[in-house]
Amino acid sequence: MSVNGANPLRDAQDRRLPRIAGPSGLVIFGVTGDLSRKKLMPAVYDLANRGLLPPGFSLIGFARREWEHEDFAQEVYEAVKQHSRTPFREEVWQQLVQGCRFVQGDFDDDTAFETLKATIEELDKQQGTGGNFAFYLSVPPKFFPQVVQQLKKHGLAEKAGSWRRAVIEKPFGHNLESAQELNQIVHEVFPRDEVFRIDHYLGKETVQNILALRFANTMFEPIWNRSYVDHVQITMAEDIGIGGRAGYYDGIGAARDVIQNHLLQLLALTAMEEPGSFHPKALVAEKLKVLAAVELPEDLGKHTVRGQYSGAWQGGEKVVGYLEEDGIDPNSKTDTYAAIRLEINNRRWAGVPFYLRTGKRLGRRVTEIAVIFKRAPYLPFESGATEELGQNALVIRVQPDEGITVRFGSKVPGTSMEVRDVTMDFAYGESFTESSPEAYERLILDVLLGDANLFPRHQEVELSWNILDPIEKYWDEHGKPAQYPAGTWGPVEADEMLSRDGRSWRRP
Ligand code: BG6
């Protein structure tokens, strides 16, 4: 088909969307991995299906596997069939497959990078990609420097009149020092504005909605501060174990895996000041200020907890403990659960604890931000009337059952005055007919458009490591993670951590 012609695959529903990628292609390093199969390839298809990719869009897989182009195309096909969000349409697939290519090789293989270069040039001619390519590094972090340097060496990192971008998956480094080194290496090759560090939580609709909730409304912001807020709980709980990811997870653990990035980003969006606009620079400036104001507790032994799941029955199934998982060192001290208490040293938040917790093999999968308000200073009711009145709360449910719940006290119907907690709910599914795009759809599209708003900048990544490093160091030097049976809500030590503050974790 003509690469310059109209895209016949753009459906009527999406025509009103102005954000459509121009001529371009995507190269995925680590294309045989789980992330690529479950998220990246399906997201590319979903974007194509929604008419948001140019007709000649090209997808190049780079990996060691001995595949021909057809084998790669078949892999993409199966990934799309199995994991795409939108329905399969043969005509969309037929168009997408025109631009699928595979390059076989190791990351130190110069010939493979020359083949990649030739493949890109050939696609420019055949598919009209205009020389615009994003390089997606979905590979273990130890390979980031090598791949980036190979791109430079083979003249792939820039092309006059076109754009070249680097997309880097987490974890971005292992600690502050390695993140700084990595930033330096990447910035020597790609201009800062062409580096996109992925934190897929920022691509989630519900996470972007934190900004809409806070800054498009008048009713929340006046009470969003230390005068009214008692504390904030940010929870990311998963019911799954580590699956086949032992190689990645052991030695990394829960805090590095998700607190350093996802949870600290949620904290930043919840606690930051209003930016002057949503221009990336304005938004980042506010996130940086709040991350820089984060203070760790003095006694890390009392105000942080790490845990490891032990074997138990979960959801009617007997599951093994972390130390019995395939590929895990039986003496591993890696945390599969982490809870920490932070404070934010500024006028808005001084003295308000932010409790962050995450874990694998917990009671159920849920991510939420719960803003818990102070009790009314005086309750003019008879004693006993407010026994079942808790604290007001506003809960942003990131997933599942995306939405927002407000909890407040209400009079129980009847002749006496008795007050009890009730909830008021907003559910995405009920208020909007469109289903939310997957985070990776949004983020890949933004990369192709050069829109950096939903990508952490290098200083954010470094400040986040700066928060986590002392905690990891403390854990390294002190004992072992506490055990918790799979399917529970984490170690008892985590409950004690909150009860010492006169509080308790929400049971989401
Ligand atoms: C990833 C972590 O960033 O997020 C995984 O590396 C985790 O360990 C995953 O399972 C969870 O993502 P989501 O979108 O399912 O909450």
Q: Is residue 247 part of a domain?
A: yes
Q: Is residue 504 part of a domain?
A: no
Q: Specify whether 245 is located in the same domain as 362.
A: yes
Cα 209 to middle of ligand 1, angstroms: 19
Coarse DSSP helix, strand, coil percentages of the chain, rounded to the nearest 5 percent:
40, 20, 40
Question: pLDDT tens, 448-463?
Answer: 999 999 999 999 999 9
Angle at 322 between CA 203 and CA 199, to 5 degrees: 15
Q: Specify whether 287 is located in the same domain as 349.
A: yes
Q: Of all atoms in ligand 1, which is nearest to the CA of residue 236?
A: 16
Question: Domain tally for the chain?
Answer: 2
Mean pLDDT of 103-107: 96
pLDDT of 7 higher than 60: no
More confident residue, 280 or 84: 84
Q: Specify whether 122 is located in the same domain as 210.
A: no
Q: Which domain holds residue 153?
A: 25-169
Cα 8 to middle of ligand 1, angstroms: 35
Closest CA to 395 of 419, 362, 421, 420: 421
Q: Specify whether 133 is located in the same domain as 254.
A: no
* Residue-level pLDDT at 18: 63
Mutate which of 262, 397, 442 for ligand 1 pocket (most atoms within 8 A of beta carbon): 262
**Pocket-forming residues, ligand 1, beta carbon under 6 Å:** 238, 257-258, 367
Domain boundary among 147, 169, 191: 169
Mutate which of 238, 336, 366, 397 for ligand 1 pocket (most atoms within 8 A of beta carbon): 238
Mutate which of 205, 258, 337 for ligand 1 pocket (most atoms within 8 A of beta carbon): 258
pLDDT of 434 higher than 90: no
Give yes or no for a contact between 348 and 299, defined as CB atoms under 8 angstroms apart.
no
Cα 421 to middle of ligand 1, angstroms: 33
Q: Is residue 133 part of a domain?
A: yes
Q: Is residue 431 part of a domain?
A: no
pTM of the complete model = 0.94
Which residue owns the Cα nearest ligand 1 atom 13? 201
Q: Which residues pair with 60 in a beta bridge?
A: 27, 101
% of the chain exceeding 90 in pLDDT: 90
Q: Of all atoms in ligand 1, which is nearest to the CA of residue 262?
A: 3
Q: Specify whether 148 is located in the same domain as 214.
A: no
Looking up residue 310, the CATH number of its domain turns out to be: 3.30.360.10
Q: Specify whether 162 is located in the same domain as 226.
A: no
Q: Specify whether 296 is located in the same domain as 207.
A: yes
- Measured distance CA(245)–CA(242) in Å, rounded: 6
Q: Is residue 385 part of a domain?
A: no
Q: Of all atoms in ligand 1, which is nearest to the CA of residue 257?
A: 6
Q: Give catalytic status of residue 262 as yes or no.
A: yes
Ramachandran category for residue 281: left, alpha or beta (phi over 0 → left; psi -120 to 50 → alpha): alpha
Give yes or no for a contact between 405 and 422, defined as CB atoms under 8 angstroms apart.
no
Q: Of all atoms in ligand 1, which is nearest to the CA of residue 367?
A: 16
Which residue owns the Cα nearest ligand 1 atom 3? 258
- 292: tokens are 């820089």
Q: Which residues pair with 196 in a beta bridge?
A: 167
Which residue owns the Cα nearest ligand 1 atom 10? 238
**Residue 222 confidence class, pLDDT cut points 50, 70, 90:** very high
* Residue-level pLDDT at 72: 97
Cα 360 to middle of ligand 1, angstroms: 10
- Measured distance CA(73)–CA(61) in Å, rounded: 9
- State yes or no: cis peptide before 171, omega within 30 of 0: yes
Question: pLDDT tens, 224-266?
Answer: 999 999 999 999 999 999 988 898 899 999 999 999 999 999 9
Residue 500: Cβ-neighbour burial (10 angstroms; 0-12, 13-18, 19+): exposed
Which residue owns the Cα nearest ligand 1 atom 14? 201
Q: Which of 262, 279, 458, 478 is catalytic?
A: 262
Q: Specify whether 155 is located in the same domain as 39.
A: yes
Cα 201 to middle of ligand 1, angstroms: 9
Looking up residue 73, the CATH number of its domain turns out to be: 3.40.50.720
Q: Is residue 307 part of a domain?
A: yes
Q: Specify whether 367 is located in the same domain as 285.
A: yes
Q: Is residue 421 part of a domain?
A: no
**Residue 327 confidence class, pLDDT cut points 50, 70, 90:** very high
Cα 238 to middle of ligand 1, angstroms: 8
Question: pLDDT tens, 12-42?
Answer: 344 445 699 999 999 999 999 999 999 999 9
Cα 287 to middle of ligand 1, angstroms: 22
Q: Of all atoms in ligand 1, which is nearest to the CA of residue 245?
A: 8
Q: Specify whether 247 is located in the same domain as 354.
A: yes
Q: Specify whether 117 is located in the same domain as 72.
A: yes
Mean pLDDT of 435-444: 94
Domain boundary among 148, 169, 190: 169
Mean pLDDT of 94-108: 97
Q: Annotate 430-469 with DSSP letters as a single string.
A: HH-SSPPPPHHHHHHHHHHHT--TTS--HHHHHHHHHHHH
C-alpha distances (whole Å) from 488 to each of 306, 314, 322, 337 are 14, 9, 14, 11
Give yes or no for a contact between 59 and 100, defined as CB atoms under 8 angstroms apart.
yes
Q: Specify whether 243 is located in the same domain as 160.
A: no
Which residue owns the Cα nearest ligand 1 atom 15? 238
Q: Of all atoms in ligand 1, which is nearest to the CA of residue 248?
A: 6
Which residue owns the Cα nearest ligand 1 atom 8? 257
Q: Is residue 313 part of a domain?
A: yes
The rounded mean pLDDT for the chain is: 94
Question: pLDDT tens, 261-297?
Answer: 999 999 999 999 999 998 888 999 999 999 999 999 9
Ramachandran category for residue 356: left, alpha or beta (phi over 0 → left; psi -120 to 50 → alpha): beta
